[in-house]
Structure 1
Amino acid sequence: MNGVKISRRWIAQRLHAFRSESDGAVTVDWIVLTATIVLMGLAAAYYVGGAVPELATSLKNYMTGYDVGG
């Protein structure tokens, strides 16, 4: 192996260092949190979006009889 000696101890040290590293854990937390917020926003938009056309029609019918600027 080109003069590189890989021992069990070296592998164990590398595995221990890999398992004890926590830099990526915070990134995963933020990704999950952001995805949850986005999904909640989409669900709210879907829920509210169904009522918007009906509300617009009601408002149009209510405002039809008013004369503005006259």
Structure 2
Amino acid sequence: MKLLNIFKNFKNDESGAVTVDWVVLTAAVVGLGLIVMNQITPAIDAAGAQITTDLQNATALGRQP
């Protein structure tokens, strides 16, 4: 009978439910961040390459060498 009460108390205990909710929510936010990062990385790389090209072709104070 005592063992049955232990199982009933364990089944009815909800003290860890909030922790599970936060873990799931955090995993969803991290997953969404990875998806967004994966989508914008090519545009950021292209912008960086264009900036590099512009800086390499720039002349000091607009003067021609």
How far does residue 56 in structure 1 lie from its aligned partner after superposition? 2.4
**Normalising by structure 2, what TM-score?**
0.72
Aligned-partner Cα distance in 2 for 1:66–1:22: 68
- CA shift, 1:57, in A, is 3.0
- Residue 42 of structure 2: which of 50, 53, 69 is its match? 50
Q: Mapping of 1:21-36 within 5 angstroms?
A: 21-36=13-28
Residue among 28, 38, 49 paired with 2:30? 38
Moved more, 58-67 or 9-18: 58-67
1:15 maps to 7
Large movers: runs of 4+ above 4 Å: 59-68
Is there any run of 5+ residues in structure 2 with no aligned partner, and where?
Answer: none
Q: Which protein, 1 or 2, shows the higher relative CO under an 8 Å CA cutoff with sep ≥ 6? A: 2
Sequence identity percentage = 27
Q: Any unmatched runs of 5+ in structure 1?
A: 1-8
> What TM-score results when the alignment is normalised by the length of structure 1?
0.68
